[in-house]
Amino acid sequence: METAPATGTLSEFAARLGRSPSYVTKLKQRERLVFTADGQVDFEASIRRIAALESGQPQHAAARRAHAEKRNGEVPPAPPGPEEAAELAAPPRGSRAHWELRETMARAETRELELRKLKGELVEVGAVAAAGAEIGIAVRATLENLADQLAPVLIAEKDEPGMHRQLREALDQALRDIGARLESALQALGKEAGE
């Protein structure tokens, strides 16, 4: 099996890319190609440089800037870190591109939130607060009514084990009622999240 050559002429590089020789000539003029000591095009290194310098990705902004400075005769600074590279790629603050980027990011964030809400991962704060308030009122009412419900029953009991049994049954019923209210509120929130 024949392997592709690693170096070659401008025409061979154009054929490898599947592009016209004039395109490769423009790449040479823009210093996008890497040459070996004998003047041949280093195919793999050139492809990587083209990708790095032609990409609009933030991580390639530093490479584009360094290449431009080198072309203008300046010594390029040390490559920036990922955060600085992202900052360099960002449009100038207050420019039209800056506001368009912010709008695009806001739309993407809104879509992400809508998707999470559809999946039932998010519920509006107001709905949770209302459900919490409703549950709190129900728990308070259940516990406040417990004394009124138990007083006549406990007075009628003459022995301590009977009082304990009555008290335990009333508390168990109160806990079941509170649990049912919580379950109902959670189901209502789940339905709201799924709408």
Per DSSP, the residues of 81-116 read -HHHHHHHHSPPTTSHHHHHHHHHHHHHHHHHHHHH
Give CA separation, 85 vs 39, 70, 79, 96, in Å. Answer: 32, 18, 8, 20
Query: Rounded CA gap, 157 and 150, in Å?
Result: 11
Same domain, 97 and 62: no
| Region 78-103 average pLDDT | 68
Task: Kindly state whether residue 25 falls inside one of the protein's structural domains.
Answer: yes
Same domain, 84 and 145: no
For residue 49, the model assigns a pLDDT of 84
Could you tell me the residue range of the domain that residue 41 belongs to?
A: 7-90
Same domain, 110 and 79: no
What's the pTM value of the predicted model, to 2 decimals? 0.39
Query: Rounded CA gap, 11 and 19, in Å?
Result: 9
Same domain, 112 and 142: no
Same domain, 30 and 78: yes
Same domain, 111 and 160: no
Q: What is the pLDDT of residues 174-184, one digit of tens each?
A: 889 888 888 88
Same domain, 78 and 11: yes
Among 45, 72, 90, which residue terminates a domain? 90
Element of type H or E holding 41: strand 41-42
Task: Kindly state whether residue 1 falls inside one of the protein's structural domains.
Answer: no
Query: Rounded CA gap, 110 and 78, in Å?
Result: 37
Token pair, residue 12, equals 């061979």
Give CA separation, 135 vs 63, 88, 129, 140, in Å. Answer: 59, 51, 10, 9
Same domain, 58 and 114: no
Same domain, 39 and 18: yes
The count of domains in the chain is 3
Same domain, 86 and 12: yes
The mean predicted confidence, pLDDT, of the chain is 80
Query: Rounded CA gap, 169 and 23, in Å?
Result: 87
How large a percentage of the chain has pLDDT more than 70?
A: 76
Task: Kindly state whether residue 2 falls inside one of the protein's structural domains.
Answer: no
Same domain, 34 and 86: yes
Angle at 8 between CA 48 and CA 25, to 5 degrees: 70
Same domain, 33 and 50: yes
Q: What is the pLDDT of residues 115-155, one digit of tens each?
A: 888 887 777 888 888 888 888 888 888 888 888 888 888 88
pLDDT band (50, 70, 90) for residue 36: very high
